[in-house]
Amino acid sequence: MRLEIGNFLVRDIQFGASTVFENGVLTINKEEAIAFLKDADEHLTEVDLQVARPGESVRIVPVKEAIEPRTRVGAEHPVFPGVTGEVFQVGEGRTHALKGMSVLAVGKHWGSFGDGLIDMAGEGAKFTYYSQLVNLCLVADTDEAFERNEQQKKNHALRWAAHRLAEYLGNTVKEQTPESVEVFELEPVTKRSTEMNALPSVVYVMQPQSQMEEMGYNDLLYGWDLNHFIPTFMHPNEVLDGALISGSFMPCSSKWATYDFQNNPTIKRLYDEHGKSLNFLGVIMSNLNVSLEQKRRSAQFVAKMAKLLGADGAVLAEEGYGNPDADFIECFVELENAGVKTVGITNECTGRDGKSQPLVTLDDKANAIVSCGNVSELIKLPPMDVVIGELAALGRDGLSGGWEDDEKLGPSVREDGSIILENNSMFCGDQVCGWSPKTMAEF
């Protein structure tokens, strides 16, 4: 499979008379875009579009999703099969992408356990990759009143609207010539050269969020809720090309946004090393489960698949912490028992003082783990000049990492607009997919 991604760098977003991409500027007819979204879903009651640029004194909360705008060239297929259109296999052909920007789904009023915060400037900007992008914020409310007072929200109308908007904007470059083209191509596993097979063979094992047994919260693969999934061998191009979208459930610093799947840095780095230092076999897409029996079954499937593929090593990444740690460690142990040397990537939950056990469960065989940070780290941030969304949501609505009041620390949101929160609330802040700039300090 050969995938070409044609890149168009967005240097700024403006509103104007027509929706067009020219000379690095994405101009959007706001009224037409809003009408398009409302026509597609009657559940959207209030819709606005706002732009947040790197370095601006802007705070965005509650953020629910991030997507890179894209379009398919030479075909009318949807960018996200099974979600914004019919199911078909992705990962080959030509896709055009608007780089350097994202579409953010932002709640106008109602936050949720899986929502997060982005600061576009100051100390807070370093805690999330999305502060580096020009962000088009889809700020909306819906008539989904049945979940307004629920801590867990599916946010279906708003998240789907953001995916539709990303396709709508991606169409501006469908017929244009890209500034650069990335090519992703792997030979069939059984038909590689002697020289390639002499290199260490490596698989990337992904564990996307799939714990919720009620449908509508989990990550989706070709529109299929991953709670119904068993480990499957996939081509990495499928991940990069829209096969997966993010769910609404996950403490937010641990979340993998759809943007993270589309631009997965670990996959891109494995591609970079393919044929040089390693033989990249592909992706084993796994899941996260509820019962111990389910966790063991999935781990055994992953290890069996890796062994049959001839993997010498594996990179293992989990979306989340807490209960998912059991899946992560179980999979780690099974891979090591199968003779597959494994490196894990995850964040930790070591408490506000940093002294708690980092993962819910541990094992001696999980002896090579890259830490992406402590979800419970306390962060204090000054006020921002502009808030997109509603700042009160951080403490009021059960966002992981925020609180209404604390006997020692007081409320998350102070009267002057300054905030105190746990790293948990930073939107996709720990970047287990490979963006994280964090490192360990030795004392």
- Each domain of the chain, given as residue ranges in start order, spans 2-425
- Find the Cα–Cα–Cα–Cα dihedral 186, 97, 224, 142, rounded to 10°: 170
Structure tokens at 392: 């009160």
The DSSP symbol for 278 reads B
What does 74-91 look like in DSSP terms, one character per residue? TS---SSBTTTB-----S
Contact 102, 412 (CB under 8 A): no
Going by C-alpha positions, the residue among 288, 280, 333, 332 that lies closest to residue 311 is 280
Q: Residue 443: is its pLDDT beyond 70?
A: no
Residue 252's pLDDT is what? 94
* Residue 146 token pair: 């049945």
Spatial CA neighbour of 67 closest among 159, 182, 131, 193: 159
pLDDT tens per residue, range 249-285: 989 999 999 999 999 999 999 999 999 999 999 999 9
**What does the pLDDT look like over 76-123, one tens digit per residue?**
899 999 999 999 999 999 999 999 999 999 999 999 999 999 999 999
Residue 238 pLDDT > 80: yes
Among 270, 273, 325, residue whose Cα is nearest residue 295: 325
Tell whether pTM > 0.85. yes
